[in-house]
Structure 1
């Protein structure tokens, strides 16, 4: 029987014990858990109760079930802290800062996965409103950002089709899309505004991120403009909720090693 940390149904007590073994390193990150029959024998319980415990741990994000392979302890998620600073939007990872969001994550890559020209869907009309252009005049670039080979975020970028050089949208190379767009259209991009919200993953985003439909996503979206204030790029990034935290820093003086005059248009 388990030495549980809480009372309650047996399956929750079993889940508590397995979680405790994960927390103490008896089941290290990335390791395979004992099979259901082995756990049932250990607990002196039937497999149905053990299966309920495993399902509870999966819902809690402690383990992942790979069908036909086994059940594994989840590795720590790659979580980035994104500063919300009116003077410099930066990404901090493990205490380091970079003006190019997510590209300082280990093994980070961003690649275009879909290109749509002249669409009139609701997201395209929303972007068009902020860019002060008809939806039919825009190209949307949907990209996938991966870190260490695993999906980290999906992004959509809208820009006037007439500004993009031939072949730009078809590129499949890894690149910071905002920087690449700025170079391609020959406009120095600066932040106009950003907003933050939370949504449930739709089917397309869930498929690209490898998560369940309805999973929580953090959304960061807004306009990058030319130095004269003309809106030039609309960006909408969706990040699986556990992969990022947004931090508001209220002091106005620069932190150590930070450029007090720097303005970044990284995403």
Structure 2
């Protein structure tokens, strides 16, 4: 596909410089997106024109963008403006900057639907769908850090009605579609946990495995939802920049008599997940009422 040409007036003001340059005139957006107001900063207008080329397939997923000098020459702007425009695209998760290599177009985000059943206290069957599409997908143990009184440990103790010294903790990562999607932490008033259960890299469904190890049956008690910025540990585990928005799903599971037995806290990459509330079992036409989810 030839480069997308957008006719606008460049900073030097001459119509003869219109093709491909970014100037003070309104930058037209292909399709349904409104034009930029004159007050839009130059770097942002350039970022949007590069976004147009990506949307149009001129720069497909995985493609390397032209270098700073090449973009500077093509659009008639300085390299600082180019750098700011590319940084804007990186913040929007459109491109990935690989230091010393170049800037590459990210593939479209694959969104994982997370089922939330508001109708009943269904059994807590764990975090991962029973039929994952890839052998590399699933839940994997990261480690079993000591419960040492961190804010998260204190919250777990409060929710379970125990002292921190009574709790055991396991951290895991859930991988779907070939990449890390969620960092998870579990606390139980039970221990010490079997060594094989907490072996780093061990695959499995930790909710079911913990329930078996404790000899209990688990049901949902409550779940809450929130958002945080990724701390350094979660950022490294999920492969995202520190501060990236993460969806938080936390709550308590209990035994059938209502005794709190598990506190879970999942931090989910917000760019690749959505929560789905399905209020009906099925429609009359037999179709499912919503996306078929993985249960995170």
**Same fold, TM exceeding 0.5?**
yes
Query: Which range moved further: 14-23 or 81-90?
Result: 81-90
Q: Does 1:148 align with 2:180?
A: no
Q: Residue 94 of structure 1 corresponds to which residue in structure 2?
A: none
Give the TM-score normalised by structure 2.
Answer: 0.76
Pick the structure with more strand per residue. 1
Q: Aligned residue for 2:45? A: 13
Question: For the Cα contact (< 8 Å) 1:163–1:185, is it kept in 2?
Answer: no
Q: Residue 255 of structure 1: which of 273, 276, 282 is its match? A: 282
SS class of match (1:116): coil
The number of residue pairs the alignment matches comes to 252
Partner of 2:154: 125
Q: Is the 8 A contact 2:118 2:277 kept in 1?
A: no
Aligned partners of 1:194, 1:129: CA distance in 2, in Å?
Answer: 15
| Partner of residue 79 from structure 1, selected from 111, 116, 123 | 111
Q: 2:64 aligns with which of 11, 32, 36?
A: 32
Q: In 1, are the aligned partners of 2:218 and 2:253 still within 8 Å (CA)?
A: yes
- The answer for the alignment partner of 1:44 in structure 2 is 76
Task: Give the conservation status (yes or no) of the 8 Å contact 1:82–1:89.
Answer: no
1:134 aligns with 2:166: no
Return closer, same or farther for 1:45/1:226 CA change in 2, 3 Å cut-off: same
Name structure 2 gaps, 5 residues minimum. Answer: 1-20, 30-35, 289-294
Contact 1:80 1:102 (C-alpha < 8 Å) held by counterparts: no
CA distance in 2, matches of 1:113, 1:171: 5
State the Cα deviation string for residues 14-50 of structure 1 (Å, max 9, x = none): 1111100111111111221111122122213222221
Q: Given the alignment, which residue of 227, 236, 243 partners 1:214?
A: 243
Moved over 3 A (4+): 2-5, 87-90, 98-107, 163-167, 256-259
Contact 2:138 2:174 in 1 (8 A): yes
Change (3 A) 1:151 1:173: same
- Unaligned runs of 5+ residues in structure 1 are 91-97, 260-265
Asked whether the 8 Å contact 2:53–2:59 carries over to 1, the reply is yes
CA distance in 2, matches of 1:105, 1:215: 27
Mean alpha-carbon deviation: is it higher for 145-154 or for 65-74?
145-154
Distance 1:110 1:86 in 2: 24
TM (normalized to structure 1)? Answer: 0.83
Which sits farther off after the overlay, 151-160 or 75-84? 75-84
Structure with bigger gyration radius: 2
The CA distance in 1 between the partners of 2:214 and 2:159, in whole Å, is 18
Counterpart of 1:63 (choices 91, 95, 98) is 95
1:233 to 2:262 alignment: yes
Assess, with a 3 A threshold, how the Cα gap between structure 1 residues 102 and 58 changes in structure 2: closer, same or farther. farther
1:117 partner SS? coil
Whether the 8 Å contact between 1:102 and 1:108 is mirrored in structure 2 is no
Deviates more, 1:118-127 or 1:80-89: 80-89
